[in-house]
Structure 1
Amino acid sequence: MRLTPKFIQNLQRFRLVTFDITDTLLTFKRSPAIQYSETAANYGYPHLNQDKLMQSFRTEFKMLMKKYPNYGKTTPNMDWNQWWIKLVLNIFNSIESGIPEKDALIIAKELVRLYRTDVCWLALDGSTELVSKMKESGKKVGVISNFDASLPQILKAMNFNEFDFILTAYDCGVLKPNKGIFDLALAKCDIKSDQALHIGNLYDLDYLGARAAGWSSALISEMTDEEISIREGLNRQHVFKTLPDLINALQHTQIDW
Structure 2
Amino acid sequence: MLRLRLLTWDAKDTLLRLRQPLGESYAAEARAHGVQVQPAALGRSFREVYGAQSRRFPNYGQGCGLSSQQWWVDVLKQTFRLSGVHEDGLLTLMAENLYRDFCSARNWEVLPGAGETLSRCRQHGLRMGVVSNFDNRLENILSQCNLRHHFEFILTSEDAGFAKPDRRIFEQALRLGGVPPEQAAHVGDDYARDYRAARAVGMHSFLLQAAGQGEEPEVPPEHVLPTLSHLLALIEKG
**How does the TM-score come out when normalised to structure 2?**
0.95
Matched letter for residue 90 of structure 2: D
Q: 1:234 aligns with which of 209, 212, 219?
A: 219
Which of residues 78, 84, 93 in structure 1 aligns to 2:72?
84
Superposition CA RMSD, Å: 1.6
Q: Aligned partners of 2:143, 2:177: CA distance in 1, in Å?
A: 22
1:140 aligns with 2:127: yes
Question: 17, 42, 48: which is aligned to 2:7?
Answer: 17
**Alpha-carbon distance between aligned partners in 2 of 1:232 and 1:40, rounded to the nearest angstrom:** 43
What are the superposed Cα offsets for residues 193-218 of structure 1, whole Å, 9 maximum, x if unpaired? Answer: 00001000001100001101100001
Alignment partner, residue 123 of structure 1: 110
Unaligned runs of 5+ in 2: none
Q: 1:85-119: CA deviations, max 9, x gaps? A: 0001110111113x411011001000000000110
Aligned to 2:100: 113
Corresponding residue of 1:156 = 143
Shift of 1:232: 5.0
Give the structure 2 partner of residue 185 of structure 1: 173
Shift of 1:223: 5.4
Q: Is the 8 A contact 2:23 2:39 kept in 1?
A: yes
Give, as a single letter, the amino acid of the residue that structure 2 aligns with 1:120. N
Q: Distance in 1 between matches of 2:76 and 2:162?
A: 24
Distance in 1 (alpha carbons) for counterparts of 2:57 and 2:181: 31
- After TM superposition, the runs of 4+ consecutive aligned structure 1 residues lying more than 3 A away are none
Tell me the secondary structure at the aligned position of residue 112 of structure 1. helix
Does structure 1 retain, via aligned residues, the 8 Å contact 2:187–2:194?
Answer: yes
Task: Tell me the residue number matched to 1:48.
Answer: 37
1:125 alignment partner, SS class: coil
Amino acid in the other structure paired with 1:42: A
Contact 1:208 1:233 in 2 (8 A): no
Please list the CA deviations of residues 174-233 of structure 1 after superposition, one character each: whole Å capped at 9, or x if unmatched.
0111111111111112211000010000011000011011000011112538x42xx353
Structure number with greater Rg is 1
Aligned amino acid, residue 151 of structure 1: L
Q: Percent identity?
A: 32
What are structure 1's unaligned runs of at least 5 residues? Answer: 1-8
Indicate whether 1:215 and 2:203 are aligned: yes
Cross-structure match for 1:34: 24
CA distance in 1, matches of 2:222, 2:28: 42
CA distance in 2, matches of 1:212, 1:244: 25
Aligned residues, how many? 237
TM-score (norm 1): 0.88
Supply the distance in 2 between the matched residues of 1:59 and 1:197 (Cα, whole angstroms): 34
